[in-house]
Every structure is written in C-alpha cells, then in structure tokens.
C-alpha cells in the first residue's frame, strides 16, 4: 500500500498531461463497450465467435440436426456417409445429430451449475467478508466441513440418495462447487472490505446489499471471472465423470462426456469419431478461457 | 546519542578521485510513457550535469517527471516507460546505449537507489544485514566477514540503535525511520559514486524525518558521494542540496545553487512554489459548540487503550486541528466520533444532543450531517465507479435527488471544487492525486454537512496541490459555514488552516487552545519538539536545530 504513490506516478503523469488536451465527449455504456470490443485481440474475438456459434447451435438444435436425439437411423457404428454425416453410435443413432443436441444438455447444465455455484458462493462470501464475526465463522466452518469430503464421492452419495435427475445434478454440483467459490470470494473481498471507500459508504449509511454489490463486487470481479472460466470447465469434467459412472445425464439424452465413453471402442479401430465430442468440449473450454483472459487483462490493467 | 559533529569520521577513507569532475552528464533526455496504448512524452528534453560530491535537488509537483528523471540517471525506465532519446554519460560511459549486462555492473556498485517507501522495498523474508550484503557480494567487492563489519560501521554512522545487532532483525521489526536509514546504509554498501534518493522522507512524520535527514546529510558528506535528491518539499531540499533544479511537465524550469535559488528565484513558476508556504488564516474563535467530545476513553480489543480521557470541542463554522505524530491516537479519535469505534467511557455530544455511540444506531440524517475526508484519495474512491456515480450516489441516497435535479447538483459540486463536466465519466485512476482529493471533498459536501472530519487530507499530496486543497477548504468554509476537525502531523498546514489546536501525544491531549496561544512560547515539551522539527526554508536550519538539540538515536 505504501508503494502506491510511486507506482501510480506514470498514470498521474498521463493524467496531468491529459488536462491540457481538448474536451472529451461523454460516452454511453454501449459506446464504451463497443470501443473495448473493437480493441479486443484476435484470441478474444475467436473466443466470442466460437461461444456464439455454440449458443446458436444449442438454441436451434432441432432445426440444424437432421435427425432427432434418440431416433435409430442405422446399424451400430456405421461409418461416415452422406446419410449419417459422422456415422452412427453404438446403438445406431446419428452421431452428428447427437453431437448437436448434446450441446444443449452439456452446456445447459454447465451454465446453470456454474451460475448457481457463483450466486450462492459469491453472495455468502461477500456476506462473510462484510459482516465478519459470527456470520463469517458459521458459514466458513460449514464450508470447511463440506470441503473435507472428496467432491466426487460426495456427489455420488447424494445422487444415489436423492435420485439422478437433471435438477438434482445441477443443484448438487452447483452447491458443492459453491464452497470453492465462497472461499475465493471471501478471501479477495476481505482485502477490499477494509479499504477507505467501503468505510466511506458505510458512513454514508449505505445498506449491506449496496456495499456488497456496488462497492466490493466490481473490485473483485477479475479473480471471480477467472475462476468462472475454470469452474465452467470443471463442471464438464464432473458431469462426464458422473455419466461414466452411470449417475450423470441419463440415456437416451446425449451429452459429450458419455458420448466419448459409449463410443470409445472405435478408437482402437483407428476411427476418430469418439474424439469429436471430446474436441467439442476442448474447443469450448479454450474459447471461454480466451474471453476470460481478455477480460482479465483489461480489468486488472495488466500490460506487457 | 551523540552530538552530530562528534561523529565526523575517521572511517574508511573515500576513494581518491578528482573532486569537482563531472560524474554524470545527461543531454537531451526524452522519456515516453504508455497510456491507453499510446506513447506520450513525459520528459521532454532535459539536460543535467552532476559533479562528484555534489548533491542536486530535483523538485516539482507530482507528474513533473522527477522520479522518472531520477531513475533515468541510472538508465532505468519503469515498466510502461521508455527512454526515447538522449545520452546519459556516467563516468565516461553512455548508459543509454549500454546493454543490460553493462547496466547491471553499474547498478548497486556505482549508482545506488533509495526508494520512497523502505517498507515496501525491503524483502520481508530476509534479515537487514543479508540484504545489505547482497550487493557487495554479487559485485565481488568484499568478503562476507568484512562486509558485516562495514555494515555495523555504517549502521553506527547512521545512528541506528544497537548497531551491532540491528542488522539481524527482519524489516518488520524496526520502525519506518530506522528502515529508511537501513536502506541508506544498503545504498552505501558498495561505496557508490552516485545515490539517487527518491523522496526518502515523504512517508515519515516530522519528528522521524529530521533524524533521517540528518543521517543522510551526514553520510553523504562523509563519503563525498554525489547524490540526486528528489522531493516535493522545498524546505527539505533546501537542507540537502547544493544545487536545485525545478521541474514542471517534464521540462527544466530553472536551475541554480541552493542559496541563490532560495534568495532570488527567477521564473514565475518557481516564485509561485516559494509563495506556497505563506498561506495563513486569521484565527477566529467561537462559542457555539457543534461537537463536544467528553472524557472519552477508547481502545481496540485486548485491553489496549488508545485514547485516555480525551476532551475536545469543535465550534460551529471553525476549524480545530488535532496534531501529533503517528500513533498518538488522532485517527482513533476520528473513528470514535464517526461511530466506527464506540468509546469505552465518556460521550460525544453533537449539536447539544448525545450521539449514539455505534454507527448502526445513528439516523441517516445524523450521518448526513457529519462527513469524512481521507488521507489517501487512492483508496477513498471506489476504483470501479465513475466520478458521476461517486458524486451522484449520496445525492440520491441521502437527499433523494434524481434526474435533472441530480445532474444540476453534480455540476454545481464540480464547479465548487473548480473542476468541470469533462471529468464526469472518468474513473479515479484517470485523475491526478489532487483531483481525486477534490472529488472526495465534493462527495462529502454533496449532502450539505455541518462537520467534516479531515484525516491528513493533504499529506499524500505534494505541496502545491496540498496548498490548493487547503485554499479550497478555506473558501468552502467561508461560503458554507462548515466546521472542520482537521487531523494532521504537519504543523505548517495547521498554521494555514486552524482556529484552534489540540496537541495529542500517546493518546492524551497534552495541550489545547487558540492557534496563537499554542504556537507562541512557552510550549509544552512535546509541542516544542513537534514545532522545531518542521523544516524551514533556511538552508542552515537543519545544522542549527541539530546543534541546539541532541538527535535521539
């Protein structure tokens, strides 16, 4: 903290210079966002385009896919052809169609789960950081207990206990993941919560919600966004792992994780088809992290 | 404990060298800084000559490029900056053209650097003496044993307590002033030809500053080292430098020997710098008490008492200054008044009625009437909110203003602090230090308070900017009849702004009264020490004070 005046000198010098420059026109939020986007590097653009394509695919799956998700259209493991673009799977369903429908299931679950874990974990983390005292103690200890049980096993136990539905899957993974988000949020928010501007807003009589969401949250966004990129990808892994163990997304619904597992036999015959769903996961992961990196770079003021 | 002249040295004899030879010659130095992917020139063609054994003072307001030039003397550019033109001839070699290997050979060994914040510059994981020894050992100048002996010798010359053992402490185990001296010792470790001091005493309070200044001045004389002394404090530079260079917007305004510069500055800008210290306000007392703190005891957990039986009163429309060195309980007093720290005993009476001790029991209107301005404008403004939102929020929240009415008030506030609407969309990081503090002032004024608590509001700013802020505060007081409780360790500011003074020492009020009363002798012992530690513009001041009193180790 003591070093602040020193490191800020460059910015101050620039600000001192800026005073001599002509009037700057006011910009709206949209204009500012557009300006930022235009300056975005190629990787970020690549990430954005890929994500948009994935989302469109998920939305318009029934329009794009030639067959339905569950329809049997040929024999098992048919090769690539004009009829079945990417061949068929172990039961004779169209691989290409399932790949497209899986975008819905896999991404839908991943987005919902991550959103849930960040809402729950983020809110509790902020609350603990602002209120401290017994609220912090109670929530932190509960989280400690939950984190002391290995996550996958905990998931298995809860899923077999509560039954395997998509809703349960989202709730369980979301809440278990939120413990990690809570720890991160609490740690970074505690650092911000002691700064003068937070005290100043308390002295103005601002309520708890305002202090949490307007004063602290924007300042801890960069680490949270980075964590979001990671968590989003981990959820794929967890769902795939659970599907592999038979407790994930239930057949006949398609998801990329179980598609890899179901068709893995083909790999030993030199057929790359089972790698396509894996590739779909990989591409999305890379795209999400490109966007996250760009945001991080921009908001943390990191420059080469 | 020693009278300063007694330390004057046997010690290792300085290397034989021609005194008065040119050591450093900078010609046409240009440095660019990057902001928003654009390169802007921040140093615009500076020439500088430094002879062996000479101390050159660089002064100017923040953003003048002082530190950048100081670092460039070592051919170093901070990340985000680059040296775009010019030659830096050091000891016959052009460092601007030198590669990294060559530069590293010079850094530490021939040119050393003392940073503003010693606390942030020491590695907290290593003992002081290990960090001292690093440079001489890397450059292969001495054996480890000899190096330790030299360190102890230097610690003794810098009048550090327990010189034999202090080196074996970790940085967090010594005080700020001691750390700054340890850093000076470190810079001296290779007996460099040139030391760059970058505001070494700015972060210290006056009573500590004087010790560090005396130590630095002494050691530089003893070893006959050339130095570049960067500061924004004119009185300090007057003590330290043989020659002064005034900078503004990355250009040299004026350069002259210290005495000549002090006696007859030529340029209008330099004159305005000199005039800054003459701000005075006539004392006026009042009987209508707005705030009264009655026999308050306060402390943090663990039975540690920070305030003991403190009573003060703030009259309506007047300024009461609370003075004392760091750790005297000034800021704790502010926390008690604002309700952040409920007192253990005693009460706070506001406008005739006792204040609820805890913040959460105070009504919104009470909170509105009492505002606070902080020491560090960098942390007092939310870095993610724009000026428009920072000023607009209290208007909506406290006064319920919306839409056009809110816009009008925001503009009015900006006008009050002498800024305008082109700042509306800026983030705090896009403002200079002084502008940030102005925004803080505007935020506190937004809701028409009766009392503003100012916690060291100018100590993070350089003198010219600080002066403008003080003038602004005075003008606002005249216009709005607001009361200030002004917390500071800087007596020069107190002279400028206060009506009444409260002197605090170790959590107690040691003296209080009208400004003239407190500032005229006879003083309380502690008040006397504080007063005599404030640097004056006379270049002989430091030697005079030191001769008059023994410097505490």
Residue B550 has pLDDT above 80, yes or no: no
Residues of B in contact with A10 (CB under 8 A): 33, 35, 42, 78, 80-81
Contact at 8 Å (CB) between B148 and B133?
yes
- Choose among B378, B381, B443: nearest Cβ to A4: B378
What torsion, rounded to 10 degrees, do the Cα atoms A113, A117, A120, A125 define?
Answer: -170
Quote the mean pLDDT of chain B.
Answer: 84
- Residue A238 has a pLDDT of 86
In angstroms, rounded to a whole number, what is the distance separating the alpha carbons of residues B177 and B155?
13
Name the residue with higher pLDDT: A163 or B14.
A163
Percent of chain B with pLDDT over 70: 93
B14 confidence band (pLDDT: 50, 70, 90):
very low
Q: In terms of pLDDT, which residue wins out, A11 or B223?
A: B223
Alpha-carbon distance A16 to nearest alpha carbon in chain B (angstroms): 6
pLDDT digits (tens, 9 = 90+) for B168-184: 888 888 877 788 888 88
Choose the closest CB to A3 out of B117, B380, B425. Answer: B117
In percent, the amount of chain B with pLDDT more than 90 equals: 16
Q: What is the pLDDT of residues A89-108, one digit of tens each?
A: 888 888 899 999 988 888 88
Mind listing the pLDDT tens digit for each residue in A218-238?
999 888 988 998 898 888 888
- Average pLDDT on B136-146 reads 83
**How confident is the model over B305-329, as a mean pLDDT?**
88
| pLDDT number for residue A183 | 95
At B260 the pLDDT is 87
The pTM is what?
Answer: 0.77
Percent of the residues in chain A that have a pLDDT greater than 70, as a whole number: 89
Show which residues on chain A lie within 8 Å of chain B, measured between beta carbons.
Answer: 1-6, 8-19, 23-24, 26-27, 39, 195-197, 199-206, 214-215, 218-219, 221, 301, 303
Cα–Cα distances in Å, from B544 out to A36, A294, B369, B540? 59, 59, 47, 6
What is the structure's pLDDT at A194?
A: 87
Q: B134 at the A interface (CB within 8 A)? A: no
Distance CA(B1)–CA(A187), nearest Å, equals: 46
pLDDT in tens, A41-63: 889 999 999 999 999 999 998 89
Give the residue-averaged pLDDT of B200-215. 80
Residues of B in contact with A304 (CB under 8 A): none
Average pLDDT (B26-48) is: 83
Cβ–Cβ contact B407 with A under 8 A: no
Find, among B406, B440, B294, the residue nearest to B355 by Cα.
B294
Q: Closest Cα partner for B88 from B21, B29, B22, B20?
A: B29
Buried b (16+ CB within 10 A) or exposed e, B391-406: bbbbbebbeebeeeeb
Q: What is the tens place of the pLDDT at every residue in B233-285?
A: 888 888 888 899 988 888 888 888 988 888 888 888 888 777 666 677 778 88
Residue B389 or residue A35, greater confidence? B389
Q: Is the pLDDT of residue A3 over 60?
A: no
Cα B341 from Cα A66, distance rounded (Å):
69
Q: Which residues contact A257 (CB under 8 A, 6 or more apart)?
A: A106, A236, A237, A239, A240, A241, A243, A244, A248, A249, A277, A281
pLDDT at position B36 is: 64
pLDDT class for A23, splitting at 50, 70, 90?
very low
| Cα dihedral across residues B337, B458, B325, B200: positive or negative | positive
| The pLDDT value given to residue B276 | 62
Chain pair A-B, CB pairs under 8 angstroms: 129
Q: Which of A1, A3, A5, A207 to mutate to test the interface with B (most CBs of B within 10 A)?
A: A5
* C-alpha atoms less than 13 angstroms from C-alpha of B8 in its C-beta half-sphere: 6
How far does B546 lie from chain A, in Å, by closest CA?
29
* Candidate from A69-83, B235-249, B350-364 with smallest mean pLDDT: A69-83
Whether omega for the bond prior to residue A252 falls within 30 degrees of 0, making it cis, is yes
User: What pLDDT, on the 0 to 100 scale, is given for residue A10?
Assistant: 47
Q: Which residue has the higher pLDDT, B296 or A19?
A: B296
- In this predicted structure, the answer to whether residue A17 has a pLDDT above a threshold of 70 is no
Q: What pLDDT was estimated at residue A60? A: 92
pLDDT at B67 over 70: yes
pLDDT in tens, A105-128: 888 899 999 999 999 999 999 999
Q: What is the pLDDT of residue A54?
A: 93
ipTM: 0.75
Within 10 A of A297 (CB to CB), how many other CB atoms are there? 16
Place of tokens 């530069």: B103
Do strands B451-455 and B345-350 pair parallel, antiparallel, or not at all (unpaired)?
Answer: unpaired
Q: Give the pLDDT mean for B436-441.
A: 91
Distance CA A105, CA B504 (A): 68
Position A188 scores a pLDDT of 94
């Amino acid at each position: 903290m003591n070093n602040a005046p020193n490191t800020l000198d460059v910015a101050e010098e620039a600000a001192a210079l800026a005073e001599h420059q002509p009037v700057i026109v006011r910009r709206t939020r949209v204009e500012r966002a557009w300006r930022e986007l235009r300056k975005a590097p190629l990787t970020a653009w690549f990430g954005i385009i890929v994500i948009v394509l994935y989302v469109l695919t998920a939305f318009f799956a029934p329009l794009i896919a030639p067959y339905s998700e569950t329809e049997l259209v040929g024999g098992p493991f048919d090769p690539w052809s004009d009829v079945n673009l990417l061949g068929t799977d172990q039961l004779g369903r169209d691989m290409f169609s399932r790949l497209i429908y899986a975008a819905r299931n896999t991404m839908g679950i991943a987005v919902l789960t991550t959103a849930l874990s960040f809402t729950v974990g983020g809110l509790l983390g902020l609350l603990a950081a602002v209120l401290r005292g017994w609220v912090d103690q109670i929530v932190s200890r509960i989280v400690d207990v939950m984190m002391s049980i290995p996550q996958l096993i905990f998931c298995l136990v809860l899923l077999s206990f509560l039954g395997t539905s998509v809703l349960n899957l989202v709730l369980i993974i979301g809440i278990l993941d939120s413990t990690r988000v809570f720890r991160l949020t609490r740690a970074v928010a505690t650092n911000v919560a002691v700064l003068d501007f937070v005290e100043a807003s308390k002295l103005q009589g601002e309520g708890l919600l305002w202090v949490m969401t307007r004063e602290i949250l924007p300042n801890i966004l960069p680490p949270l966004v980075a964590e979001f990129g990671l968590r989003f990808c981990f959820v794929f892994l967890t769902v795939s792992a659970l599907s592999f163990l038979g407790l994930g997304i239930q057949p006949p619904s398609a998801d990329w994780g179980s598609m890899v597992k179901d068709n893995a036999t083909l790999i030993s015959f030199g057929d790359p088809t089972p790698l396509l769903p894996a590739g779909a996961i990989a591409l999305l992961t890379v795209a999400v992290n490109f966007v996250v990196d760009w945001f991080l770079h921009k908001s943390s003021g990191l420059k080469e | 404990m020693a009278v300063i002249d007694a330390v004057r040295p046997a010690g290792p004899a300085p290397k034989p060298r021609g005194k008065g030879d040119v050591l450093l010659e900078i010609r046409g130095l240009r440095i660019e800084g990057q902001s928003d992917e654009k390169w802007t020139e921040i140093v615009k063609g500076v020439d500088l000559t430094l002879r062996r054994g000479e101390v050159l003072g660089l002064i100017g307001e923040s953003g003048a490029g002082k530190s950048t030039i100081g670092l460039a003397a070592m051919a170093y550019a901070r990340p985000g900056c680059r040296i775009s033109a010019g030659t830096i001839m050091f000891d016959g070699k052009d460092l601007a053209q030198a590669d990294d290997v060559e530069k590293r050979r010079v850094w530490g060994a021939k040119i050393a650097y003392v940073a503003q914040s010693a606390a942030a510059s020491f590695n907290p994981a290593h003992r002081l003496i290990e960090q001292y020894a690093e440079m001489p050992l890397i450059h292969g100048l001495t054996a480890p044993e000899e190096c330790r002996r030299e360190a102890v010798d230097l610690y003794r010359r810098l009048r550090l307590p327990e010189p034999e053992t202090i080196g074996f402490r970790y940085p967090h185990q010594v005080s700020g002033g001691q750390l700054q001296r340890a850093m000076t010792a470190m810079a001296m470790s290779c007996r460099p030809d040139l030391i760059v001091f970058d505001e070494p005493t700015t972060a210290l309070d006056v009573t500590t500053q004087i010790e560090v200044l005396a130590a630095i001045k002494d050691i530089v004389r003893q070893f006959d080292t050339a130095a570049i002394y960067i500061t924004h404090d004119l009185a300090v530079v007057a003590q330290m430098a043989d020659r002064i260079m005034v900078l503004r917007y990355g250009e040299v305004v004026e350069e002259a020997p210290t005495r000549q510069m002090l006696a007859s500055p030529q340029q209008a800008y330099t004159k305005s710098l000199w005039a800054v210290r003459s701000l005075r306000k006539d004392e006026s007392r009042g009987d209508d008490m707005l705030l009264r703190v009655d026999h308050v005891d306060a402390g943090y957990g663990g039975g540690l008492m920070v305030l003991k039986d403190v009573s003060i009163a703030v009259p309506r429309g007047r300024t009461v200054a609370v003075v004392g060195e760091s750790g005297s309980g000034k800021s704790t007093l502010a926390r008690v008044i604002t309700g952040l720290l409920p007192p253990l005993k005693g009460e706070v009476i506001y406008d005739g009625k006792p204040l609820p001790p805890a913040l959460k029991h105070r009504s919104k209107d009470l909170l509105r009437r009492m505002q606070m301005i902080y020491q560090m404008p960098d942390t007092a403004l939310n870095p993610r909110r724009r000026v428009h939102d920072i000023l607009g929020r209290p208007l909506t929240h406290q006064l319920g203003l919306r839409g056009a009415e809110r816009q009008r008030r925001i503009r009015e506030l900006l006008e009050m602090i002498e800024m305008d609407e082109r700042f509306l969309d800026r983030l705090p990081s896009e403002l200079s230090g002084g502008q940030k503090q102005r925004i803080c002032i505007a935020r506190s004024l937004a809701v028409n308070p009766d009392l503003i608590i100012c916690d060291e509001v100018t100590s993070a700013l350089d003198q010219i900017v600080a002066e403008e802020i003080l003038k602004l505060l005075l003008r606002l007081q005249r216009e709005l009849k607001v009361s200030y409780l002004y917390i500071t360790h800087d007596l020069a500011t107190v002279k400028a702004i206060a009506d009444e003074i409260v002197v605090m020492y170790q959590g107690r009020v040691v003296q209080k009264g009208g400004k003239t009363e407190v500032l005229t002798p006879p003083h309380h012992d502690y008040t006397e020490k504080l007063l005599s530690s404030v640097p004056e513009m006379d270049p002989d001041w430091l030697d005079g004070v030191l001769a008059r009193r023994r410097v505490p180790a």
